[in-house]
Structure 1
Amino acid sequence: GFVSVPKREADMSIMLTRPKAGRVKVRKLSDYVLQVYAHPDYLSRTRPVEQVSDLAEHDLIGYVDDLIYSSQLRYHEDIAPGLTPRFCSPSIVAQWQMAREGAGLAVLPHFIAAGDPNLVHVLPDQVRIERAFWLAVHEDVHGTTRVRAVSDFLDELFAASAQRLTGNI
């Protein structure tokens, strides 16, 4: 992530990768799912996407490789070896907007893209990437009232959003 809980840069942090060291209490908040999405106009003007191998012939949208701070953001490698995004941004929101504008195919979290009327699933039965959100809390503040209050709020929020996060609607 951007801050280090073990180094006391923050009391708590929601992370994409489970921390493995430091005086930190860690627990999973929720799983979430990413899938491939595109604007219908992009799909109508390009070759059909019928199987994973077809993705190599398309404009892919993704992260700037040098700015990826977590291996969990290297989605394309999980889909097929050698897939490289043509249009890149360090922002998932910018990637979402590029897909909405028809720039190409984007691997997006279900909770962002599934309800967007400007996007359609591409290979929904063939590409499903699962990741998790982790809550890391420094041991020194783990039992404090304020941290417990935020932690309880996050539990309620993630529980209420479980279907949107995982696509199991």
Structure 2
Amino acid sequence: MFLAVAEGGTVRAAAEALEVNHATIIRGIGRLEERLETKLFDKPSSGYRLTDAGTDIVDLARQMSMASSQLEAKIFGRDQGVSGPLRLTLPVSFATDLLMPTLVKFRAAYPDIALEIIGSGAVINLGNREADVALRVVVGDRTPPENLYGTRLCEFHTGHYAHRNLLTDRSPPAAWLLGADEVVPSGWQPGSGVKMATTPIRFAEMRSQFEAARAGMGITLLPCFLGDADPDLVRVPAGPITRAGEIWLLTHADTRQTKRVRLLCDHIRVAMRGFAGRLAGRIEGGDTSLR
């Protein structure tokens, strides 16, 4: 609790990080200060600020937290049971639009495994057991850190998609549908006379972009497996299909031999290799060029 407050700056942030009531955090900090017979935080209205004594011990607290996580990982790594908690982190679209049937089959085969699915694009720390298995898109030539065990599964491609009605001669100008950090594509223009609006529309997350494209709002960049699977969407003429990275299945070196980790990895590995063509943007009987 001390470390969560020190890193979050407020009791609220610490309570959210630890998923406990804020009053529990306040009582915990109070007990620690009483035990150490020193004040660890000043408490101005803007948040909690470390005192000199608190600053002196915060690095030791981080070391204790890391050692505790390593201890848990070592014990978890010896567990050969097919029951108990198991955390999987993966991009939201992989969970909702690609792997959910696989996870349903896994759940049916091993009902005593308490699977927790963390749909997120954030890099979650496997070393401190925030997750046990991670499916990640790795950009460039990077490889997993030394403390992680990784399997490269397949390549991941993206393309530009729009509702098929936007590609007709009478359609209104299409907007570029962009994520928060995306820019209007340069170096190519939509083919077949597609008219483009001068002002783009921005979204905070990909699912909204996807639904906006399906509704006919404009052109957006999507994973090929998502855009190609929707009957209302088509690839924009002249738009490149781009290799965005590689998909890796990752586990921690200390926990990868845990039986339920191995079982989940086996299910995901088989499923993702079956999806390799879709993930690479290959369409049966259609355009298979990659650029």
Q: The TM-score by the shorter chain falls in which range?
A: 0.7 to 0.9
Counterpart of 1:94 in structure 2 is: 208
Give, in angstroms, the shift of residue 29 of structure 1: 2.1
Counterpart of 1:69 in structure 2 is: none
Percent identity over paired residues: 26
Please report the RMSD computed on the Cα atoms of aligned residues, expressed in angstroms.
2.6
Runs of 4+ in 1 over 4 A off after TM superposition: none
Preserved CA contact (<8 Å) 1:27 1:136: yes
The match for 2:180 among 38, 45, 64 is 64
Does the alignment pair 1:10 with 2:10? no
Aligned AA (1:146): R
Residues 13-56 of structure 1: per-residue CA shift (max 9 Å, x gap)? 11122564351112212212211111133333256xxxxxxxxx
Counterpart of 1:35 in structure 2 is: 159
Question: How many residues are treated as equivalent by the alignment?
Answer: 146
The match for 1:128 among 236, 241, 244 is 241
Structure 1 residues 20 and 167: alpha-carbon distance in aligned structure 2, compared to 1, 3 A threshold? closer
Residues 98-152 of structure 1: per-residue CA shift (max 9 Å, x gap)? 111111111111111113221111135x501113221121111012211111111
Structure 1 residues 64 and 41: alpha-carbon distance in aligned structure 2, compared to 1, 3 A threshold? same
Q: TM-score, normalised by structure 1?
A: 0.73
Preserved CA contact (<8 Å) 1:36 1:127: yes
Aligned AA (2:175): D
Preserved CA contact (<8 Å) 1:6 1:22: no
Q: Distance in 1 between matches of 2:129 and 2:224?
A: 32
Mark the runs of 5 or more structure 1 residues left unpaired by the alignment: 48-57, 66-73
Q: TM-score, normalised by structure 2?
A: 0.45
Q: Distance in 1 between matches of 2:167 and 2:148?
A: 46
Preserved CA contact (<8 Å) 2:133 2:265: no
Counterpart of 1:26 in structure 2 is: 150
Does the alignment pair 1:116 with 2:230? yes
Mark the runs of 5 or more structure 2 residues left unpaired by the alignment: 1-120, 188-198, 285-291
Preserved CA contact (<8 Å) 2:136 2:247: yes
Aligned AA (1:134): W
Highest CA radius of gyration, 1 or 2? 2
Question: Greater RCO between the two (CA within 8 Å, min separation 6)?
Answer: 1
Secondary structure, counterpart of 2:125 in structure 1? coil
Q: Distance in 1 between matches of 2:247 and 2:206?
A: 15
Counterpart of 1:153 in structure 2 is: 267
Residues 65-88 of structure 1: per-residue CA shift (max 9 Å, x gap)? 2xxxxxxxx5x58x537xxx9222
Structure 1 residues 118 and 160: alpha-carbon distance in aligned structure 2, compared to 1, 3 A threshold? same
Aligned AA (2:159): Q
